[in-house]
Structure 1
Amino acid sequence: MVVASPAVAAPPSAGSASRVTATSTAISLPRAHPPLLSHPGTTRPGQALPPGPTSPEKHVRRPAGAGRAEQNKITIHKSVARNKPKGQGGQRQRKPSSPLSLSRDLKRRRGGRRGGARSGDPSPPAALDGSAWYIAHRRRGSSGRHHPRPPRPLRCAPSRRSDQSMAHGRQTWSAMECSSDESSELSETDIDDYAEKSYLDLKSGKLVARLASDRFRCPFCPGKKKQDYRYNELLQHAVGVGASNRAAKVKANHQALAKLLKEDHADAAGTLPSRQALALSNPPKPVKDQEVFVWPWMGILTNVPVEQTQGGGAILMKQLADFKPLRYTAVYGSNGYTGYGIVLFTKDWIGFKNALAFQNFFKSQRLGKMDWKETKRHGKYVFGWLAKEEDYKSDDPVGVFLSANGDLKTVSDLEQEMSSKTDNLIANLAQQITAKSKYLQELECKCNQMNLSLQRAMEERDLLHKRYNEEMRNMESATREHTQRVFQETDKLRKQLVEKESYIQRRSWQLNELVAQTDMERRKLEEEREKNADENDSLNMARIEQQKADECALKLLEKHKKEKEAAFNKILQLERQVDEKQKLELDIEQLKGKLEVVKHMEGEGVDVKKRSEELTAELNERIEQMEDLEALNQTLVIKERMTNDEIQDAKKELITNY
């Protein structure tokens, strides 16, 4: 069997050919020559021979006197569609036209066709479809002149208004881009005002966002590679950029675009893909609206040689490739192969169009169902037709196969079923969009709450850090003042000792001048001298002890300073208590030093003893206060450790819970 590229015909109804060829959104007919299905070496009376292999693009009618041997040499001829790209054949592939050049291309093609048409060429009548007209005026004989091809379906080109609107959108954007470069960046508080201004520009038509019923573009991203969006894709793009960390002006523009899509173009949220929507809105109509077909669409082939059914009918599938079949199945009966085969098409209106083209092709070749029934001598031709109610209810193996693998349905039933499925799909998509929008709003609320919590935590941290610094400055100033006071008291005591020492020396000099007095006086002087020597020794010892006490106090101050530097990161209350402890220790050391001084000055009378007792009592009181403070510090340390342990346990529990 030989199959060439078929010319797909529309349903055989009056005026249907003109309707199909004039509307690009309806069923588009492939521009190719009608094939001739036959076995090699056979012809029918009154039918022209197929073109030979030496003319791949032009069909030349052979002379009427060609012999039988020349007819047997006829092989498969594959006509090449004029606009069909070819990857490895060396032909030039056409690049896809841009939207702006489609209208110019269409005008150029129309002008070329008008200029190249001959006055003698016939035009197809309205009652014939494309393939029937082409067969009727296929050749004029052996003169070599050709009739023109059947009229091609119009290509869909954008209108001049859409081109102007797109160009206007690009010009407007370029102007906005230049102005945005010159102007300063927006602040966060002006985003809403600028977004409202952009929204008004979009709504008034200064910026174009909607190209068609289901196609959109982003007027604020002209440099982006993708310029054709669906509604949900553009809405997701606008919402994502509007909520990102981009520049304030970019965020405002995309927020305005999202608002426009939600409020003014919400009707496009449930639109279907263009191919499916066109197929649903313009399904191919059979001759009768109530005509019953086998669903899914199936074509019946008969008189098929058994050798062409091998390998799943790969040869047949290749020859019928222009009808886009899904599968070929040979029909077997109780006695083996029956000569019938079933061609399965897709379960949509595109498959129905291909199935009708399949039937019309065989009918135009006089190889349809009626020809099969009326012709007694079938020869080696393959006949084909579209499976209908009669084939479904027959008792032969074909009817058994059709009843086992399909159902009977009318076009109106399928339209209602697909319409209900489409409505359900739109409802489901709308519910999904609503749910996702709600989920997005919840995520935005959570994000805002997290941002507020984080901002509040940062403010609290800054406040605590500020308070800590103030407390540290206060403690340092208090420590400095206390150290200065201690040094001042030490200097005062040293001056007092120096004054007493000078007084004793003067007294000794006076005693030395009275040496020439009487013996009694000498003895008294000796006694006084000894006494002064003892007092001198006591004073020296007291001075030495005072120096030791000063050194101990200096060491203690250095120690306290190191302890304070190491304890800066502790709690402020502990630092105050440590400071009080240090003060008590300094007071204790000073009291000890004073007590030692007083002990060495015991010879001066009752006042010294009373002073010594007062210093001892004060020393004991300070020691008791220090012990109480140490006990309190220990208690606070234990409580702090317990509190830290509880905090750690709480942190571990929070970590395990989350």
Structure 2
Amino acid sequence: MDRSSDDESEVSESEIEVYSEKPYEQLKKGLHKVKVKDGIFRCPFCSGKKKQHYKYKELLAHASGVAKGSASRNAKQKANHLALAKYMNNELAGDAEVPLRITASSSKQPQEDASDIYVWPWMGIVINPLRSNDDKNLLLGSAYWLKKLARFEPLEVKTLWIEQDSLVAVIAKFNKRMSGFKSVTELEKEYEIKRCGKKDWSDKTGGWRSKNYGWCARADDYNSQGSIAEYLSSEGKLRSFSEISKEEAQNTNLVVEELANKIAMTNEDLNKVQYKYNEKAISLHKVLLEKEELDRAYKEETKRMQELSRRNVNRILEEKDRLSNELESKMTKLKNWSKELDKKEALTELERQKLDEEKKKNDALNCSLQLATVEQKNTDDRVLRLVEEHKRQKEETLNKILQLEKDLNNKQKLQMEIQELTGKLQVMKHGEDEDDEDVKKRMKDMIEELEEKRSELQDMEEMNSALMIKERESNDEIQEARGELITGLRDMLNDRTIIQVKRMGELNEKPFMKACKQKFSGEEAEVQYAMLCSKWQENLKDSAWYPYKRVGNEDNMKLVVDEEDEQLKNLREEWGEEVMNAVKTALEELNEYNASGRYSVPELWNSKRGGKATLKEVIEYMTQHIKTLTVKRKRT
């Protein structure tokens, strides 16, 4: 709302009446425009409001409402509106709206005489003579007549028994408004059309008892004798139609004026709400502008941080790729040494049994672990530690092997030197000259050198033994590392990954299912499949069954599955080549990985090339997997 500079001065509540004289004089002199045109006015002190035009009553209600005390207006504004209300009452009173009047249309109201007096509230009288076949109790029931006269909408019905004339008089009461008069006149007209009106009842010509009669209750009914007149006088009174119409019009005008005042007050409240709405809208607009500015700054900062983060990520990825390339290069170098170490992994039967027992314990322990709840990050860290540990062990093993080879060469060289010295010493002993001091001195020096070489050879053999023990320990650590990898990766690897944890010596059940479905159908195929797999799994565990044979010469003798074994031949003939090959593969794996125990053991497997996965392949796969996870985490 706009305000003049004069609004800055303060006016107390007690000075409102005095201060209102000044704006009142200004209004009288025409300095403020109030009347826009006939019937349209404006408030000169609220020019900033959305609503500018008022009717006389609306503007008067607005001015009076603000002057009496509006919480959102100061004392000076109240004084201005008090002057406006006084100006409208004194100077513009002639422009007030003419009160509404209700005029009865000639088409809807009957012509009335000055002497036409009605019983009010409006009442209608229906006379029903009792005939021989009529049910008196039914006719005396109000419910019957309410239903019969329902089209005229009476408020209530009173039935009277006229003994001397043997007839039922029904008095229907209607509402006091003009709608009630309309209903009772419609009742009267309907009976008059049937020639059963009041005049026809008075004449009683012909078979009058066979008809019902009805009319509107008037003064002659009210002033007559009998039970009908007594009821009319007790429930109503006589009034002229003009009096009733005038009273109805006055009541209507009062309602209209009251509604007009309520509308004016409502408009004032609406103006207040509109003013508050405008203030809130301006405030909200400012907040939205601030929010847009903050959003813009946030987006710029976010973009800057994302760019910085992207650069850091690229730098980290480049560094990681460089380290990965270095690791791959070193792993390539270690591969050849690993192959040689694999050839030296010849364990004794006792050591194999010990390893099998440890693997059984690890399998039992794996069953109790709940690796599914461990976070992926912990698994990645664990695999990385294993990779570093394996790298360290490989380097240590490589150094040990190099040292062993070096020591072996030195040992061989020492042995040759010792043999050479021993031969020379023997020759000199056979050809020695007792008086030759020079020869004796040389022999003494050679014996001392020989003893020194033998001592050095003994030290080297002891060192070699220690290195061999350490090599065995390194091999054990490598096997433990493979076992730890199997344990750690069991829940992370599955049938769809390149590197898998495969149970070596376990039957491949797919050929069994295929063969059973070819011979049987439905549930019978399932039953036969389960029985067949269970039977051959037990056969594989049976140490008494030994379907192997040795092939090759003495230098290259190896143990293979004997396909001519009776049970295998019968299996091929009954179930086919694929089923027999599945059992043969399981036997070969058992012979290679657990010949003594005859139960399946877990092993890292390369599904892509169908063979045992080397530690390098596992590490390469895990490194690639960690890269993928790192990229995904950075993206999220």
- Specify if TM > 0.5: no
Normalised TM-score (structure 2) = 0.28
